[in-house]
A and B are shown apart, each in its own frame.
Chain A
Amino acid sequence: MTATTDARKLAYIAGQAADARVNVELETEGMTLNIGPQHPATHGTLRIIVRLDGERVIAAEPVMGYMHRGYEKLTEVRTYPQITTLVNRIDWLGSFANEVPFILAAERLMEVEAPPRAQWIRTALFELSRIANVVLFLGDMGVQLGAITPVFFAFRDREFVLNQIEAVTGGRFHPNFDRIGGLKDDLPKGWIDETRGVLDRIRTFCDEMEDLVAGNEIFQARTRGIGVIPADVGLSYGLSGANIRASGVDWDLRRDSEMGLVHRELDWKVWTHPDGDSFARYWVRLQEVREACTIVGQCLDGIPSGPVMAKVPRIIKVPAGEAYVETENPLGIMGYYIVSKGELVPYRVKIRSASFNNVSITPWLLKGVYVPDVISILASLYFILGDIDR
């Protein structure tokens, strides 16, 4: 009797000591907690197993694959035009942007160039996808930290953007509109003016979010200095998009590489933030939505006249070769490595999706943080499950 009682007493004392952070390192019994697979912070079905010591995470291991759809295998039995339907579903909040790098890679192999009008409309739709995608993040990040209102604002205003995308493409979420050599169709009548109105709404929304969320004292307390990613670590993990720019890396493919879109002809700015914390990631995305509005606005002014489709064969056979094209998508860098053998179907397509790399840093990043911060850090990394699992 005495032995067990003593053991319990000792364990209790040990537990108390650990809680009080007494200066000795005590061996406490850790706790394993499952976050997910169904959790609001995971935007889908990501499961994160965290091992806890008190409130502190000592190890975190994301478990994925709940939504793995095998796109890389499926692309090997689909023709090039059919693949856009598949890749639409990778990042489902900014679907049009998924199609663009794939089409550009195929165009590079075929040595086809889309007509200028198509390139400008592509750029406008590309940035509208970014707005539709990131606007939701701006509201959703508030929800993760207990502010319910912003997400309703986000859903409300995103709907206007989706309406504009739908007006052009016929699809709210899955446009499937980009074609090798151009676009499926031209813009509908009156679209340009309507879109200007929507951009004004989004600008207002950004101002609201800046006051409501970014300017909120609680939000700042919960995000500033939390989840700091140094630039070199972010680079070695392949973080991209706002996640890496929030760590002070001034690198945006829209400005720094020949993406095949017209961003380089427009006047806009790449925002970075030196802090690398959750707040910086939120702030950079907020600025990016504003810049996206600027880009779309300039596209609307500058769309040249002409056809929207180059002359391409009806049956598309891509010449043998390999090409890798990546673009700066809403979530970060998205690229397709296409291996073609000159057939109707690609031989191999490697899909480089942004969220996969962005989430791969979590075991490193979550080590040592407190449980509530797990949620804010995950939310600030901003991933879409379809973009991780592909």
Chain B
Amino acid sequence: MDPVDDVEAPAVDAARDDLVATLAEALGDGLVASEVQPGVDVWVRVAADSWLAAGVALRDRCGMSYFNFLSAIDWQPSPFGRDMDAQVDGPEANDPGPMEWGTTGGETRFQLLARVHNPATGLGVTVKADLPGDRPEVDSWIPAYAGADWHEREAWEMFGIDFRGHPNQVHLYLPGAFEGNPLRKDYPLLARRIKPWPGIVDVELMPGDGDDESGDDGEGDDA
């Protein structure tokens, strides 16, 4: 969405507000937070207990019959060389720093992320749910959306999130004996320990370009 449309878009987005209202009615306290960017997108955050209920409500009451994807976010920053200045990640863990959540906030380390659509209206919604860091566990969405099957297997192996009631929770991409959950932030990217990353040169400043990095405001004025 371009910024011009953002200005022209109405400050109130009736369709997306209705969606949030319908969900609030269906889930009660299960709807924790929501955010509507008028004319752009909508996010809702539900309680983990209401996860399956949210899926069913979206499908049956909001016409969201199209299952788009399901994944997760690990909000605990990586303790390994996250900054681009490090050529090689050190084996020792640094202080990962505090957790900062994104749109609609958060409370715990893991956040489920799913998106469904209404093919008739073209409206899509991103659903989130907080899951604890130690034993993330949630109901499977398969009863609501059959397509959640593989996405949940992927989230299970990549993030270690357990989906209750999943009929076949086995590895999807990784070999059967694989240990660990690669997309967790504390899972090291071993390639960066073995050899320096050649791409590092791309983000170095050119001589005399030192003012560019602080020049974001100036650039914005020009544009």
A: residues with CB less than 8 A from B are 64-65, 68, 70, 72-74, 76-79, 81-82, 107-108, 111-113, 232-233, 235-238, 244, 249, 251, 253, 256-258, 260, 310-315, 317, 320-324, 326, 333, 335, 337, 339, 341, 344-345, 347-348, 350, 352, 356-357, 360-361, 364, 389
Contact = CB atoms under 8 A, between A and B. Distances in A.
B67 A235 contact: yes
Given A65-B174, A256-B122, A337-B113, A236 B145 contact: yes
A64 B170 CA distance: 12
Contact of B122 (A64, A251, A344, A389): A251
Interface stretch (B2-10, B19-27, B46-54, B130-138): B2-10
B199 A82 contact: yes
A113 B71 contact: no
Nearest to A257: B122
A347 B203 CA distance: 17
Given A112-B223, A258-B1, 10 more contacts: A68-B174, A79-B202, A113-B2, A235-B67, A312-B219, A339-B73, A345-B82, A348-B73, A357-B68, A361-B147
B100 to A, nearest CB: 7
Contact of B102 (A112, A113, A253, A322): A322
A228 to B, nearest CB: 16
A162 to B, nearest CB: 27
A251 B119 contact: yes
Nearest to A253: B122
Given A237-B146, A311-B223, A348 B74 contact: yes
Given A77-B192, A232-B65, A249-B119, A311 B219 contact: yes
Chain B interface extent, by class = 35 or more
B63 to A, nearest CB: 11
Interface of B: 1-6, 40-41, 43, 65-69, 71, 73-74, 78, 82, 84, 100, 102-103, 113, 115, 119, 122, 124, 126, 145-147, 149-151, 158, 171-175, 182-183, 185, 187, 189, 192, 197, 199, 202-203, 205, 209, 212-213, 215-216, 219, 222-223
A73 B182 CA distance: 8
B119 A235 contact: yes
B19 to A, nearest CB: 15
Nearest to B115: A324
A324 B65 CA distance: 19
B189 A337 contact: no
A237 B67 contact: yes
Given A77-B192, A235-B67, A314-B212, A356 B150 contact: yes
Given A64-B172, A339-B73, A348-B73, A77 B189 contact: yes
Given A78-B199, A79-B202, A311-B222, A321 B5 contact: no
A77 B119 contact: no
A233 B69 CA distance: 15
Nearest to B66: A235
B203 A72 contact: no
A357 B183 contact: no
A249 B6 CA distance: 29
Contacts of B103: 321-322
A258 to B, nearest CB: 6
A323 B147 contact: no
Contacts of B172: 64-65
A107 B223 CA distance: 14
B143 to A, nearest CB: 11
12 contacts: A64-B173, A77-B192, A79-B84, A79-B203, A82-B199, A108-B1, A112-B223, A236-B65, A311-B223, A312-B219, A339-B102, A350-B69
A150 B36 CA distance: 49
A87 B221 CA distance: 31
Contacts of B197: 77
Q: Which of B115, B173, B174 has the most CB of A within 10 A?
A: B173
Contacts of B65: 232, 235-236
Contacts of A77: 82, 84, 189, 192, 197
A13 to B, nearest CB: 36
A347 B100 CA distance: 11
A345 B185 CA distance: 14
B155 to A, nearest CB: 10
Contacts of B149: 360
